[in-house]
């Protein structure tokens, strides 16, 4: 981002012209020289006619030359300011074009993620219908199971000896016993199948729910990024307009000075005729294991650039070398689950709970710690916790001037556990 220079500051800057004058300025100067020559001839003729002393003419001529030199200095300074403002406006115009392209990309990404959400929502709804139907099937089987067990219980009031005596033959007795055993086996198999089906459906529900939640988070994150980019675009366009106005104002000022310069020349002709104390260290970057630092940098405004897609993102959709990107990597590294589009750091506790992870205020090693304050908050990974001192040793990315100058560096700190208001347990 090009940092806007306050108008007051710009106006107070000392300008030194290092640029070649524009053709129209050169032409004007040529005209000025011609007019100056003409004024000298006219002045000489008038002096000769009126017998004005030469010393008076010399004094007037010297003052006139000094005045013209001062006017030209002003014009040169104004030209330098105009060039600076136009260059700034051009840079901002290019930035605005880049932001407009980024907004178009975000719009396409939103459309794509919405299509994914539609598919996942349909799958989720179908799964809910299937679960509901399975519950009905389970209820029906349970009712049938109760009836069958009751029937078998009544039949079993007859002793095996009585059953044998009442049977027409040994074969009939064996068949009846086999039938009972078969019913028992069938019921046992049915119960096992129902339990397995229930567990499998619940597992699918959790998995699809997480996917759907991640996709909705992705949509929300893209919408937030789109708003942020739109605001930045509006700000950039406003800054460009401000610089264009400054340039226009300086052009008007230059026109005024040029007119004054011309008026001075005319007057000269007429006159001639008579008329941060924390324990901070850069730490061991390989310990964090963060894999997306290459081809990425964070500028003075804490904005990510480069990354896997050239738009400053890591593979999970976060800004590369940002604190949330590092936290996402550590969660994946420790749990095998990659949290996509969980938002800014201060949104992570809610997103984590939505994905089935627990949170709390008690520090633990191998957890993520969140500071919710500020526009975005901050999130770190807890390497260790010393209960005797109440201190946590953390690793992180993107803490200002930690691990290196500016933003986007890996660092480690030992700080009070109370620094963080929420812990996400992995």
Same domain, 264 and 286: no
- Residue span of the structural domain in which 309 resides: 279-425
pLDDT at 416 over 80: yes
Number of domains in the chain: 2
pTM: predicted TM-score of the whole model, two decimal places? 0.43
Same domain, 96 and 245: yes
Same domain, 133 and 267: yes
DSSP letters for 134-203: HHHHHHHHHHHHHHHHHHHHHHTTS-HHHHHHHSSSHHHHHHHHHHHHHHHHHHHHHHHHHHHHHHHHHH
Same domain, 197 and 301: no
Q: Which of 275, 308, 343 is the C-terminal boundary of a domain? A: 275
Grade residue 81 by pLDDT with cuts at 50, 70 and 90.
confident
Same domain, 358 and 250: no
Using alpha carbons, select from 393, 387, 388, 390 the residue that is nearest to residue 367. Answer: 393
Judged on CB neighbours under 10 Å (0-12, 13-18, 19+), 330 is buried
Q: Which residue has the higher pLDDT, 3 or 404?
A: 404
Same domain, 347 and 226: no
Using alpha carbons, select from 139, 116, 106 the residue that is nearest to residue 312. Answer: 106
Same domain, 132 and 261: yes
DSSP state of 401: T
Question: pLDDT tens digit string along 335-375?
Answer: 999 999 899 999 999 999 999 999 999 999 999 999 887 66
Same domain, 100 and 1: yes
Return the CATH number at 267. 1.10.287
Same domain, 32 and 168: yes
Same domain, 237 and 301: no
Strands 304-307, 311-313: pairing is parallel
Question: pLDDT tens digit string along 256-305?
Answer: 776 675 566 545 444 544 443 455 566 666 667 899 998 999 988 788 99
Same domain, 328 and 217: no
Same domain, 331 and 232: no
């Amino acid at each position: 981002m090009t940092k806007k220079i306050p108008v007051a500051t710009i106006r107070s800057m000392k300008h030194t012209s290092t640029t070649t004058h524009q053709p129209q300025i050169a032409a004007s100067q040529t005209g000025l020289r011609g007019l100056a020559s003409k004024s000298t001839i006219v002045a000489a003729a008038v002096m000769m006619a009126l017998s004005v002393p030469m010393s008076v003419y010399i004094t007037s001529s010297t003052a006139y030359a000094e005045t013209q030199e001062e006017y030209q200095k002003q014009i040169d300074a104004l030209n330098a300011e105009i060039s600076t403002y136009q260059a700034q406006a051009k840079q901002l115009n290019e930035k605005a074009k880049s932001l407009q392209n980024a907004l178009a990309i975000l719009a396409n990404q939103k459309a794509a993620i919405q299509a994914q959400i539609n598919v996942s929502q349909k799958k989720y709804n179908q799964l809910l219908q299937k679960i509901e139907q399975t519950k009905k099937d389970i209820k029906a089987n349970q009712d049938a199971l109760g009836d069958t067990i009751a029937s078998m219980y009544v039949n079993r009031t007859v002793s095996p000896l009585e059953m044998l005596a009442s049977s027409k033959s040994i074969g009939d007795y064996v068949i009846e016993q086999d039938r009972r055993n078969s019913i028992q086996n069938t019921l046992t198999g049915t119960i096992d199948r129902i339990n397995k089906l229930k567990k499998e459906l619940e597992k699918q529900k959790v998995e699809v729910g997480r996917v759907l939640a991640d996709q909705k988070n992705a949509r929300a994150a893209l919408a937030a990024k789109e708003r942020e980019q739109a605001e930045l675009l509006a700000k950039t366009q406003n800054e460009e307009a401000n610089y264009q106005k400054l340039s226009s104002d300086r052009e008007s000022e230059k026109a005024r000075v040029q007119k004054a310069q011309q008026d001075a020349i005319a007057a000269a002709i007429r006159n001639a005729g008579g008329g941060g104390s924390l324990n901070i260290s850069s730490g061991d970057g390989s310990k964090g294991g963060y894999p997306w630092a290459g081809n990425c940098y964070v500028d003075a405004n804490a904005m990510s650039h480069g990354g896997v897609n050239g738009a400053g993102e890591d593979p999970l959709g976060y800004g590369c070398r940002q604190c949330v990107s590092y936290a996402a990597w550590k969660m994946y590294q420790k749990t095998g689950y990659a949290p996509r589009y969980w938002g800014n750091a201060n949104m992570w506790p809610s997103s984590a709970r939505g994905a089935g992870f627990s949170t709390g205020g008690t520090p633990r090693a191998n957890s993520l710690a969140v500071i919710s304050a500020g526009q975005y908050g901050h999130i770190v990974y807890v390497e260790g916790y010393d209960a005797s001192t109440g201190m946590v040793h953390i690793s992180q990315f993107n803490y200002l001037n930690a691990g290196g100058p500016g933003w986007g560096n890996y660092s480690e700190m030992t700080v009070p556990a109370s620094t963080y208001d929420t812990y996400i347990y992995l």
